[in-house]
Amino acid sequence: MMFIYRIDDDTYLKLLGEENTSELYALIEGNRTYLARWLPWVDKMTDYQDVSRYILGTLQQFSDNNGFFAGIWHKRMLVGVVGFHFFDWRNSRTALGYWLDEKHQGIGLMRKACIALVDYAVKELSINRIEIRCASFNTKSMSLAEGLGFTHEGVLRKVEKLGENWVDHVVYSVLSEEWHIEIDKPT
């Protein structure tokens, strides 16, 4: 199983493998408090076995052609994860998910990674609709979706439990005919 997508000279996306377990665990551990503000799965990643099971699950998802998650490598370091939660082939739709090491934010890495995957979904997979859902207080994620040209569709009220609290999600989407952003890929 292979998926590698070069974004620029310093950055590429690659499927996570079992050999990345300790690296991914360290990245989650180093960002645990930050990520727990947005993502309910963080509390479930308590040891190497949890991360290994997650990676094996994403590889199975890729093998089943039902979405995938790839690591974001920047300057040979794993700095985040981006991917598709599922592929609904009948309706030609998917949902994009992502997270990035707090220290690597603000330099355009996630924007480039999302552009690469949306471009891949539209041009290579012929996906018609891509959604981004994020917590209503996650202003960085909302700003990213809007900056990518996604349309704000509405709010799903109390759709996810985060810790002890219910969280609203803001829903954004882009349709294939609306997608016009490209990145310059290295040759």
| Residue of 129, 33, 148, 35 lying closest to 90 (CA atoms) | 129
The rounded percent of the chain whose pLDDT value lies above 90 is 89
The average confidence (pLDDT) of the chain is 94
Backbone angles phi, psi at 75, to 5 degrees: 50, 45
State pLDDT tens for residues 49-102.
999 999 999 999 999 999 999 999 999 999 999 999 999 999 999 999 999 999
Buried b (16+ CB within 10 A) or exposed e, 7-18: beeebbbbbbee
- The CATH number of 4-178 is 3.40.630.30
pTM of the model: 0.92
**Structure confidence at residue 181 as a pLDDT band (50, 70, 90):** confident
CA 175 to centroid of chain Cα atoms: 18
Give the span between the Cα atoms of 74 and 102, in whole angstroms. 13
pLDDT tens digits along 118-140: 999 999 999 999 999 999 999 99
CB atoms within 10 A of CB 54: 20
Q: Please give the share of the chain, as a percent, with pLDDT higher than 70.
A: 96
> What does the alpha-carbon distance between residue 82 and residue 101 come to, in Å, rounded to a whole number?
12
Confidence (pLDDT) at 3: 83
Read off φ and ψ for residue 146, nearest 5 degrees.
Answer: -65, -40
